[in-house]
Chain A
Amino acid sequence: MGDIFAWLISFFILIALLVLVTYQLMCLADLEFDYINPYESSSRINKVVLPEFITHGVLCCFYLITGHWIMSLFAAPYLYFNVRLYRERKHLIDVTEIFNLLSWEKKQRLVKLFYLIFTLFFSVFWMIYTSVDD
């Protein structure tokens, strides 16, 4: 039973992450099409970057604590990437260079997005699997 709850919680955390990443992507897309200016875009994105990192860290720990170490391992590269960005102080968007980095920022977030969707798929699968098993 506890397992189902664990999967359920991870499901919601993943949804939250998806929302955060999608929001950043939308800001970037808006910027590209000139709907908002770079100052606004970068400040909006920068506001949610750390929450995203922390949420993902929490998710990773959560998997570990609940004993789903395979999922935890699966989330590790993402976490490592985030930590590295943070330590190099490159996690925030630089408003002065935002247009030069636009393609890289977008690519990076798209990859994250697919990664999360994949994780979500796994997590849903396990959730159903456990519930059926019970």
Chain B
Amino acid sequence: MGTENPSRPSFPARPTSSPFAAPTMTPFSSTGPASGSDPTSFRPTPPAPPPQTSTPFSLSGGPVARPGLPSFRPGPPGRFNDPSVPPPPSPATFNVPPPGGPFQHYQAQQFSTTAPQAPPPRASSMMGQPPFQHPVNQAPAFPTSLPPQSHAPFVPMGSPPPGATPAPLGSNGPPSVYQPSFPGYARQQPGTEMQAPPPMHSSLTANQGNYGSVPPAASSPFLSHQGQGGYVPSPPMAAPLGIHPAQQQLGSGPPIGSTQGLAEVFSSLTMQTRPGTMDTLFDAKELPRPLDGDVEPNNLADMYTANCHPRFLRLTTNAIPSSQSLASRWHLPLGAVVCPLAEPPEGEEIPIVSFAPASVVRCRRCRTYVNPYMTFTEGGRKYRCNVCTLLNDVPSEYYAQLDATGKRVDLNQRPELTKGTVEFVAPAEYMVRPPMPPVYFFLIDVSISAVRSGMIEVMAQTIKSCLDELPGFPRTQIGFATFDSTIHFYNMKSSLTQPQMLVVSDLEDIFIPLPDDLLVNLSESRNVVETFLDSLPSMFQDNVNLESAFGPALKAAFLVMSQLGGKLLIFQNSLPSLGIGRLKLRGDDSRVYGTDKEHGLRLPEDPFYKQMAAEFSKYQISANVYAFSDKYTDIASLGTLAKYTAGQVYYYPAFQSAIHGEKLRYELRRDLTRETAWEAVMRIRCAKGVRFTTYHGNFMLRSTDLLALPAVDSDKAFAMQLSLEETLLTTQTQYFQVALLYTASCGERRIRVHTMAVPVVTDLGEMYRLADTGAIVSLFSRLAIEKTLSQKLEDARSAVQLRIVKALKEYRNLYAVQHRLGNRMIYPESLKFLPLYGLALCRSTPLRGGYGDAPVDERCAAGHTMMTVPIKTLLKLLYPSLIRVDEYLLKASVQADDLKSIERRIPLSGENLDSRGLYIYDDGFRFILWFGRVISPDIAKKLLGADFAAELSKATLSEHDNEMSRRLITVLEKLRSSDRAYYQLCYLVRQGEQPREGFLLLANLVEDQMGGNSGYADWMIQISRQVQQS
């Protein structure tokens, strides 16, 4: 939106009152923190400290404001929000803006442009409502509004501070004041409304103090001002007023008070208009931010106490629509995200139930496993299936009498009847073959680039160190093959002392030189394996072979493993160049972007990879791809192997053992030692009338609803969408049951069952109320990434936006009739973060920008990762945490709970970066340590040692012998412990160090405008406009 352009056509809405608006606004701004956005204008003006800033306003505004305020309320009949009717005292306004250049600017604008305009109803003008009408309506309001002015002012403002307008302006903490004002303001029930505000407050507070940081480039007019020292660390109070990301856009306008008075079941954001320009905007401080990370929904816990924990199964809304027509009005995805093996917190164990020698108790018709929602009748001889309502006989082994209340007397000994998550020991009929042992086969690229990067050494050491911890001792099997232009097998027979190398150079017709002994029992051949791993790096250190016969090697590995299945770990360092499956250097062609062929880059080039993946899945082989190349390796093709075999892609671009070694070590170790479920299949059942239709994630479908997962672990989640098959559901409750049948590493066949009950509702509002943003975002991201495989990036992004808009529009329609929504953007409390995550998703690596914004390999790797990660990890990746640590490091003494202060996350915007600070940006996959430009040299020196003056791109972080360094390491360790799936490597960057700072950090500050991407405030306006367009 053009910030300063007063003459924009869209604005007309405000026209009439503009003169007024200005005044009106002022009072408001002062009062409400909401107006924070407006503050921008303020900022520039007084170079003086923030509080002062406000004061000028208040002073000048004081008189003006009052009139304005009153007008407010009464003025526009319906609208609470509309500042539209401000009274005339335009001159007053003028006076107000004191010194700042920008100010004058703005004033001028106001007068000239605004004056004619009506007071801008903040949002409405923007929204594309017939702009002109507004003014018209408002205009009449004017006169009327004036009279009431006198008393009116008190009301709105009154609640917080004394009615006097001036007071609120300067002195009252805007945040606090502002919110309370709402209830008073509107004559609505305050209670509900309040929900919304609190988050805002918190964010506000968080922001305060940080403002000092450099304003984003966008706010050019202000920049100069901001530069001035005064603002930098603004005191909390002032902060809201003075500084804001949103302000950038505001440019010239004086702040307009935003307030909405309604207290309803929904939360809302009010758009503010800056009088000087035609733009409307949201107060950036008010925008909701997920600074607490992912919050698991708990709203059903009381109603259905036996539900499984949300870490295992989350629905996009915890209320199933009762009819197809209702479902069609729910524009967000309707489905579930399942993480069947999520790690329970320390000390919590999943009960294991064995029915031996009988079989597992299941409904005879729908095959639902016995669960807490089944009801026992007829003295305990029968039970009614909760899913299909069939009356089943209780097997005689499972019989127990019912007590007086109709409960089984053995209820307490039966975890499957009280807990939502249990594991059954599966009897022989659940096996098609004897349970397989854990099998690990390593396929290692030993061409020259692999040797040079040092990957082989790190890998060999790591594997060796993990040998004791591989799951499934003593049955574990292990095998190795290496390849360059030929394929090398290793005979590891336990009777040998040295592994025997067997070379196959015929790439056309692959065969295995030995029928056995390529895959050996680890405990028997332990010595040979260790000898091999010790000698592996030296064996190939002089290898100068450039080629990579990846395809044939893959086939060979398949032949070796096809007997048992298991996990195939592929270490690939270059583009496959020989034999079947060789790939072209199709690279990243900038000309392809934006055309219909764009998506081809993200698809596997050679059908060989899909075929191999299908074969792997059939034979229970799961492929994990570790890619290391600094050049194009076609992750799109290689990743396919992982995609259909429930594997994972690890991508270390330009791997250097000195830099990335630790990350590889950690992640490989995690991959090898985490608890893994082998040869698994998963199915999610639900009652008649509902059906799961599409599945998203890394797996292969074996039948319409059966997911084949050759190996699965706690770091994998799967998403699915459901649809209603019947026009009307008659039941009150809908049940979902996820069953994962797998072989545990110990060799036992087990069934893990998660059961969940959710209410069926007839009201769309209820669906919104019980919506789960995390699950929705997870499904959204999977859908969007899948879309990039068949369409342009641009299309995928706009699809995300469109769905959010549709959903919010539908929600708005729910309430538009009973409530006067005016210019507010309304959303359910449960979805308050949805727009932000939508924005973050559009700016995430797989979806962002176009050519040049991310290399295609990184896009694909990130895409593969986002398709598998559980909700919590995904949300952290989308909206990473930003933490300031220098204060903690400088503290004289540290108490244990001081670490908590570290956990205070800051909104992800450049404004919050203080050039005197040290910040950690943590997206769950890496840490970025950002050193402010004027950070005290002492800190830098202590943390970096001798490197502190050098290029930070070459520096690494290691522990130095001083308190500060140790503390930093502790902090990093603490942050790492929150998510153990990945290792966060530390990148150091100094402010202003381009281009590193740009792509490492600035591009990831999702709230800032960057390149072609909109910032948070812009994005909200776009969405809000589209929502209000009818």
Residues of A within 8 A of B (CB): 31-32, 34, 37-39, 89, 94-96, 98-100, 102
Contacts and interface: CB of A to CB of B under 8 A. Distances in A.
A86 to B, nearest CB: 14
Interface in B605-622: 607, 610-611, 613-614, 617-618
B614 A95 contact: yes
A39 B704 contact: no
A99 B614 contact: no
A37 B607 contact: no
A96 B694 contact: no
B607 A39 contact: no
A54 B851 CA distance: 41
3 closest A-B pairs by CB: A99-B701, A34-B703, A95-B614
Nearest to B643: A96
Contact of B694 (A32, A38, A95, A100): A100
Interface in B599-637: 607, 610-611, 613-614, 617-618
A7 B6 CA distance: 77
B704 A99 contact: yes
A102 B640 CA distance: 20
B819 interface: no
11 contacts: A34-B704, A38-B701, A38-B702, A38-B703, A95-B610, A95-B614, A96-B614, A96-B640, A96-B644, A96-B700, A99-B703
A102 B644 CA distance: 17
Contacts of B703: 31, 34, 37-38, 99
Contacts of A100: 694, 701
A94 B701 contact: no
Contact of B702 (A37, A89, A94): A37
Given A95-B614, A100-B694, A89 B704 contact: no
Contacts of A98: 701
Nearest to B618: A39
B704 A32 contact: yes
Given A34-B703, A38-B701, A38-B703, A89 B607 contact: yes
A39 B701 CA distance: 11
Given A95-B610, A96-B614, A99-B704, 6 more contacts: A32-B704, A34-B703, A94-B610, A96-B617, A98-B701, A100-B694
Interface of B: 607, 610-611, 613-614, 617-618, 640, 644, 694, 700-704
Contacts of A95: 610-611, 614
Contacts of B701: 38, 98-100
A98 B614 CA distance: 11
Contacts of A96: 610, 613-614, 617, 640, 644, 700
Contacts of A38: 701-703
Nearest to A95: B614
Residue from the set A32, A34, A94, A95 with the largest chain B CB neighbour count within 10 Å: A95
B400 to A, nearest CB: 35
Contacts, number: 31
Contacts of A102: 704
Contacts of A99: 701, 703-704
A39 B618 CA distance: 8
A38 B703 CA distance: 7
Nearest to B615: A39
Contacts of A34: 703-704
Residue from the set B613, B614, B644 with the largest chain A CB neighbour count within 10 Å: B614
A32 B613 CA distance: 22
A32 B691 CA distance: 14
Contacts of A94: 607, 610
A39 B694 contact: no
A37 to B, nearest CB: 6
B417 to A, nearest CB: 30
Contacts of A31: 703
A96 B702 CA distance: 9
Residue from the set A31, A32, A96 with the largest chain B CB neighbour count within 10 Å: A96
B824 to A, nearest CB: 40
Contacts of A32: 704
A94 B640 CA distance: 13
Contacts of A89: 607
A31 B701 CA distance: 11
Contacts of A39: 614, 618
Contacts of B617: 96
Contacts of B694: 100
A19 B450 CA distance: 54
B620 to A, nearest CB: 13
Contacts of B618: 39
Contacts of B704: 32, 34, 99, 102
Residue from the set B611, B694, B702, B703 with the largest chain A CB neighbour count within 10 Å: B703
A100 B699 CA distance: 13
A29 B703 CA distance: 12
A99 B613 CA distance: 16
B67 to A, nearest CB: 64
A48 to B, nearest CB: 19
A94 B701 CA distance: 12
Residue from the set A39, A99, A100, A102 with the largest chain B CB neighbour count within 10 Å: A99
A53 B702 CA distance: 28
A39 B738 CA distance: 25
A98 B610 CA distance: 12
Contacts of B614: 39, 95-96
B440 to A, nearest CB: 24
Contacts of B644: 96
Contacts of B611: 95
A39 B614 CA distance: 8
A32 B705 CA distance: 10
A98 B706 CA distance: 13
A37 B619 CA distance: 13
A78 B202 CA distance: 64
Nearest to A97: B610
B640 to A, nearest CB: 8
Contacts of B607: 89, 94
A100 B700 CA distance: 11
A34 B640 CA distance: 25
Nearest to A42: B614
A26 B807 CA distance: 40
A107 to B, nearest CB: 16
A30 to B, nearest CB: 11
A55 B702 CA distance: 32
A121 to B, nearest CB: 35
A96 B613 CA distance: 8
A93 to B, nearest CB: 11
A102 B613 CA distance: 19
B638 to A, nearest CB: 15
A98 B703 CA distance: 10
B773 to A, nearest CB: 26
A82 B614 CA distance: 25
B450 to A, nearest CB: 29
Contacts of B640: 96
A34 to B, nearest CB: 4
A106 to B, nearest CB: 13
A116 to B, nearest CB: 28
A89 B614 CA distance: 18
A100 B789 CA distance: 14
Contacts of B613: 96
Contacts of B700: 96
Residue from the set A38, A94, A98 with the largest chain B CB neighbour count within 10 Å: A38
B795 to A, nearest CB: 18
A31 B700 CA distance: 14
A90 to B, nearest CB: 11
A96 B618 CA distance: 11
A12 B382 CA distance: 60
A65 B983 CA distance: 69
Nearest to B703: A34
B168 to A, nearest CB: 58
Nearest to A94: B610
Nearest to B644: A96
B595 to A, nearest CB: 16
A89 to B, nearest CB: 7
